[in-house]
Amino acid sequence: MENTHLWRALGRNTIISILLFGALLGLLWLAEMIWPSVTLLKWHDPAWVVGIPASVIGVAYILTIRDPHNYTGFYAGIVMSILLGVQFILQGGYDSAFLFFCVFIPFQMLSIYKWSRSREEGGATFEPKFLETPRMIISVLMMLCITAGDYVMATYAFHHDGLFENMPVKILNGLLISSSFLANYWLIYRKTDSWIYWFIYSAAGIGLFILLGNVFSIVLFIFFLVINSMAGIAWIKGTTAENLGWVKLLKR
């Protein structure tokens, strides 16, 4: 019974997300009515259709875990990861599908375990923390390595093009994968740094889908950028001076 309000918060956030995407789909439909030559709603595309519930649940997930006491959002995160994995399979993005099925879902299950256990042991008390400087440096290097590794894999295993062909698309896709990997990982340990990676993820997504010309995904990642920024600001405000970690270097 004590966790009922957490589930209610998830329910409220899901309703908010449904209303947001309902308004978005309505605007896209209206745009098609005004400009018949423009196709924004791709109901014939199975991947696009799967992406709609994935997006709705994904926004509810982020809205919920912006409260560092509410682990119920990760259940929505697992459903989102399954749907996104299916979407990427339908689109031929097997590297991203592998990431969602084999990395994100286990990370989110670990987050449920750690967050719920922390709540049971310490009640509602929680102090967000930044990483210490050595771990922050390692984390940034990991992001660069994953991005570079995905670039090489995309070139030789998926696109079969030249190393310097489609460079912006491959770089942004690599950033999308590496930043989301680290964002999910550091959420397990409730580090404020995770929201920096969510911000990078959102910005990279906007850039990628501008290049790919996917209007729905551009608007979706703008939603993510705003929501992730709000969540990050909330966690930063809750970080006390003794928990600033590497940020202390900026204050010297």
Q: Is the pLDDT of residue 123 over 70?
A: no
Q: Are residues 94 and 144 in the same domain?
A: no
Residues in the chain: 252
Domain count within the chain: 2
Q: Are residues 171 and 68 in the same domain?
A: no
Q: Are residues 12 and 105 in the same domain?
A: yes
Q: What is the pLDDT of residue 252?
A: 63
Q: Are residues 116 and 172 in the same domain?
A: no
Lowest mean per-residue pLDDT among 113-127, 142-156, 179-193, 205-219 = 113-127
Mean pLDDT of 153-180: 82
User: At which of 105, 126, 147 does a domain end?
Assistant: 126
Q: Is the pLDDT of residue 32 over 60?
A: yes
Distances (CA, A) of 29 to 22, 200, 210, 219, 249: 10, 30, 20, 14, 49
Q: Are residues 36 and 121 in the same domain?
A: yes
Q: What is the pLDDT of residue 104?
A: 86
**% of the chain beyond a pLDDT of 70:** 94
Q: Are residues 93 and 7 in the same domain?
A: yes
Q: Are residues 116 and 161 in the same domain?
A: no
Q: What is the pLDDT of residue 217?
A: 77
Q: Is the pLDDT of residue 141 over 80?
A: yes
Q: What is the pLDDT of residue 246?
A: 92
The per-residue pLDDT for range 57-70, each reduced to its tens digit, is 988 998 898 887 78
- Give the pLDDT band of residue 96 (cuts 50, 70, 90): confident
Nearest C-alpha neighbor of 185 from the set 177, 194, 176: 194
Q: Is the pLDDT of residue 244 over 70?
A: yes
| Spatial contact of 207 and 179, defined as CB atoms under 8 Å apart | no
d(CA 146, CA 114): 26
**Strand, coil or helix: 129:** strand
Q: What is the pLDDT of residue 214?
A: 74
149: domain range?
127-252
**% of the chain beyond a pLDDT of 90:** 35
Q: Are residues 58 and 132 in the same domain?
A: no
Q: Are residues 151 and 75 in the same domain?
A: no
Mean pLDDT in the chain? 86
Q: Is the pLDDT of residue 194 over 80?
A: yes
Q: Are residues 34 and 121 in the same domain?
A: yes
| Spatial contact of 190 and 126, defined as CB atoms under 8 Å apart | yes
Lowest mean per-residue pLDDT among 67-71, 119-123, 195-199, 217-221 = 119-123
